[in-house]
């Protein structure tokens, strides 16, 4: 992927806020895309990012999670698992398309279009420094933290 800044976008965020990508207000920004609130893999991933959140902040990084779920669904998910970072609702797939995470997948023997679990680390200028695609949820947050700590 070319080392260029990601185009700006704005999405509704939990807590009644709006999230705008630029300017990035931290040394780095972790954007993780996940398929659906309250599903086993997505819950594991969110909990592991939650459990390492203080270490991400110490490393100068912020985290946001993005899926196509509604803000209401995100608020319930965030509250249920005490997530300290914002979840963004991308119901029209604007950010999903920007990062190219929408894929055809097999689910219960049927072809469905959905988010491929992916994570991107952007530097303070909004340039993608590392990306993971089609990843397994368990253990991934630690791998991202290890990378962020080298920036």
pLDDT in tens, 32-85: 999 999 888 888 999 999 999 999 999 999 999 999 999 999 999 999 999 999
Parse the chain into domains and list their residue ranges. Answer: 10-148
Q: Are 14 and 74 in contact (CB under 8 A)?
A: yes
Q: What percent of the chain has pLDDT over 90?
A: 70
Residue 1: per-residue pLDDT: 46
Q: Tens digits of per-residue pLDDT, 115-126? A: 899 999 999 888
In the predicted model, is pLDDT for residue 145 greater than 70? yes
Span 92-113, average pLDDT: 86
Q: Are 54 and 69 in contact (CB under 8 A)?
A: no
Residue 107: per-residue pLDDT: 65
Q: Are 30 and 62 in contact (CB under 8 A)?
A: yes
**Bridge partner list, 66:** 33, 88
For domain 10-148, the question of CATH label 3.20.20.240 is answered with no
Residues classed as catalytic: 42
Q: Are 143 and 132 in contact (CB under 8 A)?
A: yes
Question: What pTM, to 2 d.p., does this model score?
Answer: 0.91
- Tokens representing 116? 């491929």
Q: Cα 117 to chain center, whole Å? A: 9
């Amino acid at each position: 992927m070319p080392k260029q800044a990601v185009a700006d976008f704005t999405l509704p965020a939990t807590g009644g806020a709006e999230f705008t990508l630029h300017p990035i207000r931290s040394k780095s920004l972790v954007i993780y895309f996940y398929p659906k609130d309250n599903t086993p893999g997505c819950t594991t991933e969110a909990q592991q990012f939650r459990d390492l959140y203080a270490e991400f902040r110490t490393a100068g990084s912020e985290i946001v999670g993005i899926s196509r779920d509604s803000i209401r669904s995100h608020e319930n998910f965030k509250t249920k698992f005490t997530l300290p970072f914002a979840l963004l609702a991308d119901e029209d797939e604007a950010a999903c398309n920007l990062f190219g995470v929408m894929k055809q997948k097999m689910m219960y023997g049927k072809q469905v279009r959905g988010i491929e679990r992916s994570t991107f680390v952007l530097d303070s200028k909004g340039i993608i420094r590392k990306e993971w695609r089609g990843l397994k949820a368990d253990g991934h947050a630690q791998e991202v933290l290890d990378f962020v700590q080298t920036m």
